[in-house]
Amino acid sequence: MWTLIRFCDFTVTGVAVPPRTQVLTEIDRLVSSQALHGSESLCKLLRYLANHALEHPGVPLKEYQIATEVFGRQSDFDPQVDSMVRVQAGRLRTKLSEHYGSVGAADPVWVELPKGTYVLAFHERHSTTAKNHDSPHHDAIAEINPDPVSGSLVLPRKLVVSAATLAILLAASLAVIVTLLINRKPVNTSAVALAAESVSPTFPIFWKGFLAGPEDPLVIFSNAQFVGRPDVGMRYFDSSKDAGAMTLDHYTGVGEVIAVHDLDVVFASLHQPLRIKRGSLFTLDDAKNNNLIFIGSPSENLALLDIPSTSEFTFRQVISGPRRGNTEVVNVHPRTGESSEYLATPANETLVEDYAVVALVPGLNPARSELILAGTTTFGTQAAVEFVCSENLLQELLHRLSVSDVDQLRPFEALIHVKIARGVPVESEIVALRKQ
């Protein structure tokens, strides 16, 4: 009996890819996924790259082509000057990883955007459980068939290749282990600390000022004053009518929590521990002796009211009108095309946009660094921190600041527009920038 083997579609490079219909179905699934929900630019880029990969397998794509055909850039687009395509591709790569690392873990097709290329790769995920067979091992057994001439059993070629490959890998692994044991040397901890192969050079350029100092950097997160109790309801403390009322100052937003985690991941990659402190416990001695990272606006991170803060983009509460009580960002010196005030979505509507500030400002101690990461809502604050913890977004910021070396970074203030979907910041862009 002969075995009939069905092959997947092949690209011109000879690498098997899933059938076109499966790929297109997976692209639709990704566009509708939580990871890409609300990000029209990334969805548009994904569909374009997918169609190109299917219509022109193995053919590379240029940044110029993507910029003009996907994002509508003019014919004079220069990828050496504008890193927009690289930034968007990096964001798409991150979103794909998030999807397949969570809800998409069992998707039948895995879409990948390998680093260093704009050509998508498609991988078919083979189920470990056979379908429509009495035995879970039916496929493996059915493919071991007797030779029609000699009658002897013949293993399928793919099983032979797999076995040979595993044998070679096992032998190589044993050889490596033996070699390492024979040549083992004491660990050089200083060399480990200085190793930066896995760290993007973007992070040391931006974070250099926080890696030097007598103490570990201090992260101060906001914890606004509330009146009431969690079991019956709380609201922001209002000095005009809550004088003498008992207040609570040990709550913070979900954006601040995620922000602390993101900072910890980045600083761990730089081999630099962090210390965490809530704003209500902050002292002026902290400002004099430490490199500081503030998470949250002065409306909630009250510590910022006692020390030098932003001067170009400031936070204030609206005191009259339909937006009374909301926090807004004031553009102190608006330029052509800029607004003088920026507010998040009104409180009586679904939150879909916010504004945030990323600012490196002079502090009380000129020998120390001070960074302010704050939005008008907790989600804007989360986006501000993500902007300096994401390699691609940070590259965009450094590009706008004309910074390519660790000694070129100077104080600046950036205003960020944030798109939000289902309580998650999904897209951020710089809308105004001031630098010294």
Quote the tokens at residue 72.
């509508």
Half-sphere exposure of 12 (CA within 13 A, CB side): 8
Whether residue 263 is found in the same domain as residue 379: yes
The confidence band for 358, taking pLDDT boundaries of 50, 70 and 90, is very high
The confidence band for 312, taking pLDDT boundaries of 50, 70 and 90, is very high
Q: Cα(436)–Cα(434) distance, rounded to whole angstroms? A: 7
The confidence band for 155, taking pLDDT boundaries of 50, 70 and 90, is very low
How many percent of the chain have pLDDT more than 70?
Answer: 79
Q: Domain end: 71, 97, 124, which one?
A: 124
Whether residue 112 is found in the same domain as residue 224: no
Say whether pLDDT at 107 is over 80. yes
Asked if residue 418 is part of any domain, the answer here is: yes
CA of residue 319 relative to chain centroid, distance: 36
More confident residue, 427 or 91: 427
Q: Which residues contact 346 (CB under 8 A, 6 or more apart)?
A: 322, 323, 326
Looking at residue 328, its pLDDT comes to 94
Say whether pLDDT at 359 is over 90. yes
Choose the weakest-confidence range: 8-12, 278-282, 416-420: 8-12
Say whether pLDDT at 40 is over 90. no
DSSP class per residue in 122-169: EEE---SS--S-SSTTHHHHHT-EE-TTT--EE--HHHHHHHHHHHHH
Q: What's the domain count of the chain?
A: 2
How many percent of the chain have pLDDT more than 90?
Answer: 36
Asked if residue 183 is part of any domain, the answer here is: no
- Backbone φ and ψ for 42, nearest 5 degrees, come out as -70, -40
Asked if residue 185 is part of any domain, the answer here is: no
Asked if residue 155 is part of any domain, the answer here is: no
- Mean pLDDT, rounded, for 64-79: 87
Q: Cα(62)–Cα(42) distance, rounded to whole angstroms? A: 17
- Mean pLDDT, rounded, for 251-271: 90
Looking at residue 387, its pLDDT comes to 95
Looking at residue 175, its pLDDT comes to 52
Contact indicator for 374, 295 with CB cutoff of 8 Å? yes
The string of pLDDT tens digits covering residues 190-238 is 333 333 345 678 899 999 999 887 889 999 998 877 888 888 888 877 7
Looking at residue 142, its pLDDT comes to 37
Whether residue 218 is found in the same domain as residue 348: yes
Q: Which residues contact 233 (CB under 8 A, 6 or more apart)?
A: none
Q: Cα(95)–Cα(32) distance, rounded to whole angstroms? A: 12
Q: Which residues contact 426 (CB under 8 A, 6 or more apart)?
A: 36, 37, 38, 39, 419, 420
Whether residue 247 is found in the same domain as residue 107: no
DSSP class per residue in 311-326: SSEEEEE--SSTTTT-
Q: Which residue bears the tokens 């960002």?
A: 329
Contact indicator for 320, 350 with CB cutoff of 8 Å? no
The confidence band for 398, taking pLDDT boundaries of 50, 70 and 90, is very high
Looking at residue 168, its pLDDT comes to 52
More confident residue, 412 or 242: 412
* Helix and strand totals (H; E) in the chain: 12, 19
Q: Domain end: 124, 144, 164, which one?
A: 124
Say whether pLDDT at 402 is over 70. yes
Whether residue 98 is found in the same domain as residue 242: no
Whether residue 210 is found in the same domain as residue 87: no
What amino acid is encoded at 260 in this protein? V
Q: Cα(144)–Cα(159) distance, rounded to whole angstroms? A: 9
Asked if residue 209 is part of any domain, the answer here is: yes
- Mean pLDDT, rounded, for 28-49: 87
Sign of the alpha-carbon torsion through 294, 296, 301, 306: positive
Asked if residue 49 is part of any domain, the answer here is: yes
More confident residue, 295 or 146: 295
Helix, strand or coil for residue 21?
Answer: helix
Q: Cα(26)–Cα(213) distance, rounded to whole angstroms? A: 49
Whether residue 208 is found in the same domain as residue 68: no
Q: Which of 287, 279, 284, 291 is nearest to 252 (CA)?
A: 279
Whether residue 102 is found in the same domain as residue 223: no
Looking at residue 383, its pLDDT comes to 95
Say whether pLDDT at 407 is over 50. yes
Asked if residue 174 is part of any domain, the answer here is: no
Say whether pLDDT at 410 is over 90. yes
- Mean pLDDT, rounded, for 423-436: 93
Looking at residue 7, its pLDDT comes to 34
Q: Cα(353)–Cα(306) distance, rounded to whole angstroms? A: 29
Say whether pLDDT at 132 is over 50. no
Looking at residue 427, its pLDDT comes to 93
Domain range spanning residue 86? 9-124
Q: Which of 380, 375, 354, 393 is nearest to 86 (CA)?
A: 393
The confidence band for 84, taking pLDDT boundaries of 50, 70 and 90, is confident
Q: Domain end: 103, 124, 145, which one?
A: 124
More confident residue, 126 or 223: 223
Whether residue 248 is found in the same domain as residue 387: yes
Q: Which of 283, 325, 288, 329 is nearest to 302 (CA)?
A: 283
The confidence band for 5, taking pLDDT boundaries of 50, 70 and 90, is very low
Asked if residue 136 is part of any domain, the answer here is: no
Whether residue 380 is found in the same domain as residue 281: yes
Any idea what the CATH number is for the domain that residue 109 is in? 1.10.10
Whether residue 230 is found in the same domain as residue 348: yes
Whether residue 278 is found in the same domain as residue 368: yes
Quote the tokens at residue 237.
């403390």
